[in-house]
Amino acid sequence: MNAPATPGNNPAADLPPVVAFRNVSIAFDGPPVLQDVSFSVAPGETRILLGPAGVGKSVLLKLTNGLLRPDQGSILLFGEEISHMPEEQLFPLRTRTGMVFQEGALFDSLSVRDNVAFQLISERIPDDEIDTRVHEALRFVQLEDTFALYPSSLSGGMRRRVAIARALIRQPELLLYDSPTGGLDPVTSATIIELVMKERDVYRTPSLMVTHRLQDAFTLCTHRFDEEQNRMVPLPKGQTDPNTTFLMLEEGHLIFDGSLHDLIHSQNPFVREFLQ
Ligand SMILES: Nc1ncnc2c1ncn2[C@@H]1O[C@H](COP(=O)(O)OP(=O)(O)OP(=O)(O)O)[C@@H](O)[C@H]1O
Ligand SMILES: [Mg+2]
């Protein structure tokens, strides 16, 4: 049973973080995309990253698993400093994370089975074991019967669920979701958010999720996944999930880090404008 959320009282926040950014900056050719960004993700925590288009949300996710390197600052992933770590050392850490890329990014030339198994295929795992794990991951996203299909025959929502199955295939210790509902209609988006919630509440996997849809963020805060009913159910009125909190970027800076309560009551003009 979830305890009522109290501002500033996050039960997970005292544990060693799964991810910690300290004063991270990165630029490409022009002005800095991220400047002096610091935040952390504690075990069991879901952090929802908000911000306008082009503000650096995808860049922040790619920094988290070392797909990009910062110009300045420190990034700890599972307690290890990764900002200058050689790729061969980073690889095993990255395999402990699961990433749902923006737009899903499935390979159209590969079957659903091979898309989901993608990370396992290079590891010389026997085919029948791969099949078992793919079936398990597809069962989680309720798409077992798509095993032999190709992505082109799936709807947008189904493709996104396959992308989630792919991210879960190694039972990751951290999930990175980049706009998992982007471009989907509200009803399909709700089915994707239900999966994110199921992963949060059944497996307690910490996560960092980018979304453009405030509705997704509010649903995650105000509902829990009920295993018996196999669906999301609203929390009692006035309660929010204490482990689901927010980050907001604006012009390269992290301008908000806190609870739903603090977000709604923020006096920051960018936050207020974003919420409207
Ligand atoms: N590999 C790269 N090389 C050069 N510039 C990049 C690279 N990746 C991102 N950028 C630039 O960094 C800025 C932030 O990009 P990013 O993709 O993180 O935005 P975003 O917040 O995810 O936007 P959206 O909401 O549209 O997905 C953009 O100006 C983008 O052009
Ligand atoms: Mg993006």
Closest residue by Cα to atom 7, ligand 1, is 28
Q: How many whole angstroms separate alpha carbon 262 and alpha carbon 268?
A: 11
pLDDT band of 120, cuts 50, 70, 90: confident
Ligand 1: which of 33, 68, 210, 216 to mutate, most ligand atoms within 8 Å of CB?
33
Residues 6+ apart with CB under 8 A from 10: 42, 45, 242, 243, 245, 259
Q: Tell me the torsion sign for CA atoms 60, 66, 67, 71.
A: positive
User: What mean pLDDT, rounded, does the chain reach?
Assistant: 91
pLDDT of residue 4: 40
pLDDT score at 119: 86
Q: Which bound ligand lies closest to the C-alpha atom of 57? A: 1
Mean pLDDT of the region 70-75: 97
Does the CA dihedral 49-55-56-58 come out positive or negative?
A: positive
Report CA(56)–ligand 1 centroid distance (Å). Answer: 5
Confirm or reject: Cβ of 56 under 6 Å from ligand 1.
yes
Strand arrangement, sheet containing 19-27? 32-41, 19-27, 72-77, 80-81
Distance 60 CA to ligand 2 centre (A): 9
Note the CATH architecture for domain 13-96+210-275: 3-Layer(aba) Sandwich (3.40)
Question: Would you say 5 and 239 are in contact if contact means Cβ atoms under 8 Å apart?
Answer: yes
Q: Which ligand is nearest to the CA of 60?
A: 1
Residue 99 binned pLDDT confidence (cut-offs 50, 70, 90): very high
> Under a CB-based contact definition with an 8 Å cutoff, are residues 245 and 220 in contact?
no
Low-confidence winner among 3-7, 18-22, 183-187, 244-248 (lowest mean pLDDT): 3-7
pLDDT band at 133 (very low <50, low <70, confident <90, very high): very high
Kindly provide the residue ranges of all beta strands, DSSP E only, lying in the chain, ordered along the sequence. 19-27, 32-41, 46-50, 72-77, 80-81, 97-100, 174-178, 207-210, 223-226, 231-234, 244-250, 253-258
CA 248 to chain CA centroid, nearest Å: 14
Output the pLDDT for position 265: 95
Ligand nearest to the CA of 29: 1
Per-residue model confidence as pLDDT tens digits over 223-246: 999 999 999 999 999 899 999 999
Taking residues 61-76, report their average pLDDT.
Answer: 97
Alpha-carbon span 33 to 18, nearest angstrom: 23
- The response to whether residue 59 sits with its C-beta less than 6 Å from ligand 1 reads yes
Residue 194, pLDDT above cutoff 90: yes
Q: Within 10 A of 190 (CB to CB), how many other CB atoms are there?
A: 17
Res 103 pLDDT > 80: no
Measured in Å, residue 183 CA sits from the centre of ligand 2 at 12
Span 261-267, average pLDDT: 94
Ligand 1, atom 6: nearest CA belongs to which residue? 28
> In angstroms, what is the span from residue 147 Cα to ligand 1's centroid?
33
Is residue 132 classed as helix, strand or coil in its secondary structure?
helix
pLDDT at 8 over 50: no
Question: Taking the CA of residue 98 as centre, how many other CA atoms within 13 Å lie in the half-sphere pointing to its CB?
Answer: 27
pLDDT above 70: percentage of residues in the chain: 95
**Does ligand 1 come within 6 angstroms of the Cβ of 28?**
yes
How many Å lie between the centroid of ligand 2 and the Cα of residue 237? 33
Closest C-alpha residue for ligand 1 atom 19:
54
Distance 64 CA to ligand 1 centre (A): 15
CA of 10 to the centre of ligand 1 (A): 31
For residue 59, the surrounding DSSP H or E stretch is helix 57-64
Which protein residue's CA is at the shortest distance from atom 1 of ligand 1?
28
Give the whole-number percent of the chain exceeding pLDDT 90.
79
What are the structural domain ranges in the chain?
13-96+210-275
pLDDT at 94: 93
Q: What is the pLDDT of residue 6?
A: 42
Query: Taking 80 as the threshold, does the pLDDT of residue 149 lie above it?
Result: yes
Rounded CA separation 276/270 (Å): 10
Q: Is 79 within 8 Å of 86 (Cβ atoms)?
A: no
Q: Using pLDDT thresholds of 50, 70 and 90, give the confidence band for residue 5.
A: very low
